[in-house]
Each structure stands twice: as C-alpha cells, then as structure tokens.
Structure 1
Amino acid sequence: MEEKTVKLYTRQNDKTLLALERDGRIINNRRYVEMHFGDIAPLFLESYDWFTKEAARRVPKPEDVEASIWCSIDKANCLRPIEGTVVYVLEVPQSQVVYFDEYKWDFVLNRIYIPKDEEDGAAYGEHIKALGASSRFDFLVGKLKGKYPEEEQRIKESWERVFEIDKWTIFNVCGNIWEIKAEWVKEIVRPGELIEGTTPGKM
C-alpha cells in the first residue's frame, strides 16, 4: 500500500537549487545554522543540537545529515521567498516528518522548563521560589547555574514536551525533516511569485 504523504513548505537559500540538481537532494549543515545566527549561534546551537538528537530518536537521521530542515505545515504560514531564497512546496512521506510545537521550542531556546499545563506552570513557579530562584532562567543560564543539577535535569527532561502537540494550529505546529528529496519537490517558488492558491499578502 502506498504511504500517505503530507504537504510541507520551507524557505531555503537559493544555493540549495544547485545541490538539488547535482545530488537529487538537499541536506542541512550545522555550519549553515551557525552562519545564519551569528553572535547568538553558540546558545542556539546548544539547543539545536539537543533538538537534532531528540528528533533523530523519532525518525532516524541519515548519517551525512548534521541539522534539521524545518517546514511550515500550511502555505498560509509559510515565509515568503525573498531575494536569495526560494520556497519549496513538498509532498513528504508522513513517516519522515517529526512534528513539534514551535511555541514550546521557545522554552528550549531560552533554556527554561516547559510546564505540562497551567497548573503545572503555577506549581513550578512556587517550586523555584522555594529554591531561591528569582527567575525561570536562573538554573541553566543565570545565577544558579551548576548549583542545582537535579533541577537542571528536570528542566531538560521537560523539553521533550516540544514534541507533544496539545493544540494543532498552522501557527504553532512545524514539521521537521532531515532532507529534501527531488521527488518530494512539487513546486519551487521564487521571489515575486506566489504559491498556488495564495493571494498577495497572504503567503
């Protein structure tokens, strides 16, 4: 039986067109991520490396792939192609996609605890006050870093909730893939062009 596919949308540097033509696939490189984020790269890469490791537990990563490719799940929430970029419209086998909550990703990026729900969030606030913390940021990047290893572990374990989607919307859910295969590419949208089915100002 033919595997179900899902549509994804991703904006990438237009140099990837050469790789697609030459290799029949596009993969991401950790160095590209570092270049893209500049001065904040060290902090971001620490979180990004964690994400790569955890996503690879859910969908195995090809050996030559160093970093993820993140995609929008709907054309309405896809970044527009600007100069030096293109948007790939993809049809990807569902088994190759790791979905995650982009809102929760902000917690990982900021090195803080992801609560299960509002009640857990309130309880956690009281918990860290009892430990003498003035902020959720104190444990991994602040004044209490290294002083509460068990708390640091608790925070890191909570990050797995980034893969738990409590509410599915086109704005918070993203799809992670490890590569873009030529056969998955259904449309390439260049600057000044629109994804089929969109209107100006809505892509």
Structure 2
Amino acid sequence: MDKITVWTKQNRAVLKELEEKGRYVAKKEYIFKDLGEHAHLVLEVYDWLVRNTPNAAQKPKDAEYPVWVSLAKEATMLQSDDSVILELTLDPALITMVNIGKWGTMLNYSYIPADEKDAKRHQQQLQLYGVSDTKAYMSQFYPQIKREILNSWSRLFDDSILLDGHGCYGNLWEVKSRWITNVIQ
C-alpha cells in the first residue's frame, strides 16, 4: 500500500505526549489553551466539521477534534518557539481532504455557493435584508439566512464546487508516533 507524507505544526507538548504515549488526539481543552478567549468563535465551526466529516466513523472515542496536516511542506504553518513541525508518513485513507478556500469561508460564518448564479442570488438576498453573512449567522433575527448558510456548508466535501484557494489540507483523527519520519524543531 502506498503511503503519503504530510506535515503538521504542533505544540511541543504534543511531541512529548507522542514520545510518552505513542499517540496524540486533539481535545477541546487543548484548543482553549491554544486560542484562549477566541476558542468559542471557531469551535462552532469545528463542531460542525466533527459531526459532518466523511470519515466520522473512523473517529476514536477519545478524539474530540481533527488534527490538521499540510500536503506540502512549504504550506505548513510557520514554526514558532513553542512548536515543532512533525513530518508524518501514513496511509492516505486516514486523511480527509479539506478545500482551504471553503474552510476559510466557513470560519467566517459565510455561505458556500453552489455556483456563480447561486452566489449572486445569495448576495442579493443579503442586500435585500441589509446584512452580511456573519451578521446574519450571529444574530437571532435572520434564522432563514443562518439555516441557508449552515446547509451550504455541506459543500465543503463536494469536489465539484470550487472557491478561490483551491489548495487542500487534510484532517486526521489521531497522530501515532510510528508515523513520525522527521521532527523539525
């Protein structure tokens, strides 16, 4: 079976956990530790991802969130003093591909259009109400627009729908120490 090499930026504590336990899974507490007061802003979108990802059946019981991996070394987030870059070689079937343009749209609480015509229709609807996607999503006053935004997110995994930023990243449910082929410190 062919393997794929991917890279992930992680806190040094993750490397220590991998060395001690042989395995790492992302937990909500780690996200709060990393993002602090801003964690709640992204967790709603991450919760959607966890519930709707195509490989949800592979999720170990103790994994709360996916681990992001880059398919190209140069596309990996820049290293910082408290982080390491882990190079992993593993079975590609363990990775769920995520279009980064669509993911960014979701993190902005925005609508993923089916095509240009749908994008225009949605923008006209927002103009009619005098609201943005983010405002409609965050407010209790536009439930139909929020529902439309949430429903559009199912297009995240539809490869026939493209947005700017065609690059993909991947998600894993866990990282195993035996997959590590290099650690960049």
* Aligned equivalents of 1:168, 1:176: Cα separation in 2: 19
Identity %: 27
One-letter identity of the residue aligned with 1:66? E
* Aligned equivalents of 1:23, 1:87: Cα separation in 2: 18
| Partner SS, residue 115 of structure 1 | coil
Equivalent runs, 1:46-65 vs 2, <5 Å? 46-55=44-53, 57-58=55-56, 60-65=58-63
One-letter identity of the residue aligned with 2:181? K
Match of 1:159 in 2: 153
Q: Retained in 1: the 8 A contact 2:68–2:169?
A: yes
- 1:59 positional shift: 5.2
Choose 1 or 2 for highest CA Rg.
1
One-letter identity of the residue aligned with 2:178? E
Match of 1:185 among 173, 180, 185: 180
Distance 1:57 1:147, change over 3 A: farther
One-letter identity of the residue aligned with 1:87? I
Equivalent runs, 1:1-203 vs 2, <5 Å? 2=1, 4-55=2-53, 57-58=55-56, 60-130=58-128, 132-141=129-138, 145-165=139-159, 166=161, 172-190=167-185
| Partner SS, residue 137 of structure 2 | coil
Distance 1:113 1:80, change over 3 A: closer
Unaligned runs of 5+ in 2: none
| Partner SS, residue 61 of structure 2 | coil
- 1:11 positional shift: 0.8
Q: Retained in 2: the 8 A contact 1:58–1:98?
A: no
* Aligned equivalents of 1:19, 1:13: Cα separation in 2: 10
* Aligned equivalents of 2:57, 2:25: Cα separation in 1: 15
* Aligned equivalents of 2:183, 2:103: Cα separation in 1: 28
What TM-score, normalized to structure 2? Answer: 0.88
1:159-189 deviations in Å (ceiling 9; x for gaps): 1222234569997311100111122111111
One-letter identity of the residue aligned with 2:91? P
| Count of matched residue positions in the alignment of Structure 1 and Structure 2 | 184
Q: Retained in 2: the 8 A contact 1:100–1:164?
A: no
Q: Retained in 2: the 8 A contact 1:8–1:90?
A: yes
Q: Which one has the bigger helix percentage?
A: 2
| Partner SS, residue 52 of structure 1 | helix
What TM-score, normalized to structure 1? Answer: 0.81
RMSD: 2.3
| Partner SS, residue 68 of structure 2 | strand
1:32-77 deviations in Å (ceiling 9; x for gaps): 1112112221121111111122226555210011111101110121
Q: Retained in 2: the 8 A contact 1:73–1:170?
A: no
* Aligned equivalents of 2:90, 2:163: Cα separation in 1: 19
